[in-house]
Amino acid sequence: MFFVPLLDAAGTQASSSQTLMSVVPFILIIAIFYFFIIRPQNKKQKETQKMIDALKKGDKVVTIGGIHGIVSQTKEKTVIVKVDESTKIEFNRSAIAGVVNDAPAKSEKNEKSEKTESIEKKAAESFDSEKAE
């Protein structure tokens, strides 16, 4: 008679651990969604908003529709983009996809020559160290 309440208590503990084990996969799935989907999306959205807020006259921009131009005037909610010498179009700020950088990109030829130079430099250093011994 003394063992009956103990057995009931043990059964209750087993069912609560089973419940916990059935909830753990859902918690893991929610964590995976947060770290791989929700968090990066929020980060990108903040960066885009920061870029839109920082638009100024003279920035080269690309719209969502693919129109390239230069910002000629900014307003509270809109931006006037100069597309041609005599053509200006007014866009919502949210229609700007990005600001274009004019920094010249390294060509593949330059990258290859830099890699070759670094390899040659390392080879010469190793040759000099062997020669010194």
Q: What are the tens digits of pLDDT across the range 62-108? A: 999 999 999 999 999 999 999 999 999 999 999 999 999 866 555 55
Residue 2 pLDDT > 60, yes or no?
no
Q: Is the pTM value of this prediction over 0.75?
A: no
Report the greatest alpha carbon distance in the chain: 98
Average pLDDT for residues 1-7, to the nearest whole number?
50
Question: CA 10: distance to chain centroid?
Answer: 50
How much is the pLDDT for 105? 54
Residue 128 pLDDT > 70, yes or no?
no
Name the token pair of 120: 């040659």
Q: Which of 38, 95, 41 is nearest to 69 (CA)?
A: 95
